[in-house]
Amino acid sequence: MEKEQTFVLIKPDGVQRRIIGRIIQRFEDKGFSMVAMKMLIPNQELLQKHYEELMFKPFFPCLICYMLSGPVIAMIWQGKDVVRQIRSMLGEGRNPIEQKPGTIRADYALELQRNLIHGSDSCESAQKEINLWFNQKEIVDWKPSDLNWVCE
């Protein structure tokens, strides 16, 4: 089995709107395996580390305030080419209006600042984000019984 992993975060608007199951279903339908998931209200320190490359952007304080506004769902997904494929499933940009029909952001996100979901943009950032949000004991190493039907 391909062991590439990616980090996905359902943001407070996705949790509050109760569309977690619909999002998870899309990844499972694509054949990816969830290897970790937790619900939490992140603290400011965690969010500042996660979004450190945006720290000097004018919208940074509003982003942190929004991300502190309620619970999030942090997940690790595994599968063949999972980083690129999930990123494509989310929608390539942040603005839901500019997304291709059928992407998660096009279908569910309502505005730019509340764009519902985050996904790692590279294998390197996925590993960094996974290590930031999870410890090794929280990650389950398992093999789905249908794997031979899903992957070559």
pLDDT digits (tens, 9 = 90+) for 30-68: 999 999 999 999 999 999 999 999 999 999 999 999 999
Burial of 109 (0-12, 13-18, 19+ CB in 10 A): buried
Question: H helices within the chain, ranges in order?
Answer: 12-16, 20-29, 44-50, 60-67, 82-90, 104-108, 123-133, 147-150
Q: Is 118 a catalytic residue?
A: yes
Can you give the pLDDT at residue 61? Answer: 95
Domain boundaries, the chain: 5-150
And the tokens for 35? 């290897």
- Looking at the whole model, is its pTM more than 0.75? yes
Q: Please provide the CATH number assigned to the domain covering 5-150.
A: 3.30.70.141
Burial of 83 (0-12, 13-18, 19+ CB in 10 A): buried
Q: How far lies 114's CA from each of 15, 37, 49, 140, in Å? A: 12, 21, 20, 30
Catalytic member of 11, 50, 105, 118: 118
Q: Does residue 2 surpass a pLDDT of 80?
A: no
Half-sphere exposure of 53 (CA within 13 A, CB side): 3
